[in-house]
Amino acid sequence: MLSRSYYALVIVLAIPAFIWLVPTIWMLSLSFQPNDVLARTTSSTGFGLIPIPFTFENFFALFAFGHTPLWFFNSIIVALGMTLGVLVVSTTAGYALARLEFRFKRVVVVICLVGLMIPEQAVFIPLYTMFADFGWHNSYQALILPRVAVPIGVFLMMQFFKGLSKDIEEAARLEGVGWLQIFWYVMLPLARPAMVTLAILTFLYAWNDYLWPLVSAQKREYFTITLGLASIQSNFAQSEGLGRVMASGVIASLPVVGLFLIFQRYVVRAMSVGGSKG
């Protein structure tokens, strides 16, 4: 199994993997270099990939003066809130659509299908006027709510539930267990792999969202890290404070990367579990 060709493959693939990493390494390296050196040249050592001259000043400055921690905190709240909301809403609706029979079921499915075709960016203008009319902008709910009921989440869970065998359910029904209990005690635990995938996708999506926070969050206290970073990315910062801006990028990414590294094994396992059930 671990033949010579396998090792060769690993080595061959390691090269593009490294190249893929270079931009990120570069950002990391620049964040540790002093601003005045960077204003003149960015390739001090090893094309700039090695941080010599080295300094911590950019990171100190970020925590002493910057709003980066606040923005980062906002992103966490929004992303977690959205993920939780999506999970709750998608698992419940997904299960109902997959397994329960009820009047108007076809209607609901069609309505969901229609929603699948509406891209988020097509509704941001009317959403903006709606929130403005109620004065709800500049708030966490404005940043979280519009994206919670994405039909794709419901469909993902619906497909998953459809793929489960009906035996457990039927056995539980014979014992007189209520539908809601079946959902809570039986279906949810089984749905964990799909829930993890959905959670990760939603979290990433929430973290990355730029357009909606751009139009909705006008007060600095509600900027997400994505928005905050963009606001200091102006040309002035680039020519005078390159190291500082890169440090912000590093801080903005570290936690998400960390989270991903922790959960990626879960994701891969979830994929293989899903696979063997197929």
Partner 1 sequence: MSQQQAAAVLILPFLVIYMVFLIYPFFRGIWISFHDWNLLAVAFNPDAKEFVGLKNYSRVMWGKNITWSFFHSPFWQTGAVILALVTFWAKDAGRLKSSLAWLIIFIAFLIFFVMGLYPDEGGRWYDRRFWPTVANTILFVALTVPSVTFVALFLAAALNRETRAMSVLRTLFFLSNVLSVTVVTLIWQIMFSPRQGLVANITEAFGGSPIIWLTDVQFAMAAIVITTVWWSIGIAMILFLAGMQDISAELYEAGALDNAKGLKAFWFITLPNLKRTMTVVVVLQIILHFQVFGQVHLMTNGGPNDTTQVLVRYIYQTAFRDSELGRAAVMAVFLFVIMGGFSAIQLILGREES
Partner 2 sequence: MKHVLLGAAIVAGMVVPAAAQQISLGRFFGACEDAGTDTTTSVGEACIIQSIINAASAEIDGVTVETLPTDWGNYYDQIKAAYASGTPPDVHVMHRHRVPEFAGLGAVADLSADLSDAGIDTADWAPAALDAVSYNGGIYGVPMDFHANLWHINMDIMAKAGLVDDGKPVLPSSPEEMLEHAKKVKNATGHDYLAADFAQYPIGVRLTLALMWQQGANIFDGDTATINNDAARNAVTAMTQLFDAGTANPQLNYADSQQAFLNGESAILVNGTWVVDFYTAEASKSEVALNNYYVADFPTLFAEGATWADSHMWAIPASLKANDPGKYSAALKVLAFINDHNIDWARTGHMAVRNSVLNSSEYASLAHRDEYTGTAAIARDTPPSAKYGAIQDVLNRELQAIWLTDKDMSAALADAEAEVQDLLDR
Residue 45, binding choice from partner 2, partner 1, none, Cβ under 5 to 8 Å by partner class: none
Residue 194 structure tokens? 């799909």
246 CB-near residues (< 8 Å, 6+ apart) = 27, 28, 30, 31, 58
What DSSP assignment string belongs to 169-185? HHHHHHTT--HHHIIII
Residue 240, binding choice from partner 2, partner 1, none, Cβ under 5 to 8 Å by partner class: partner 2
Give the three-state DSSP class for 32: coil
Give the three-state DSSP class for 256: helix
Q: Give the one residue of 24, 141, 208, 234 binding partner 2; rule: CB under 8 A.
A: 234
Does position 59 interact with partner 2 (CB under 8 A)? The reply is no
Does position 145 interact with partner 2 (CB under 8 A)? The reply is no
Q: Residue 98's CB: how many other CB atoms inside 10 A?
A: 18
Per rule CB under 8 A, count of chain residues that contact partner 1: 104
* Subset of 98-137 contacting partner 1 (CB under 8 A): 100-103, 105, 108, 111-130, 132
270 CB-near residues (< 8 Å, 6+ apart) = 192, 193, 194, 196, 197
Q: In terms of CB distance, is 54 or 60 closer to partner 2? A: 60
* Subset of 54-93 contacting partner 1 (CB under 8 A): 85, 88-90, 92-93
Does position 261 interact with partner 1 (CB under 8 A)? The reply is yes
Tokens 């500082």 map to which residue? 244
The secondary structure of the chain in percent helix, strand, coil, rounded to multiples of 5, reads: 80, 0, 20
Q: How far is the CB of 216 from partner 2 (least distance, A)?
A: 7
Binding site for partner 2 (CB under 8 A): 39-40, 61, 64-66, 128, 131-132, 135, 137-138, 214-216, 218-220, 230-241, 244
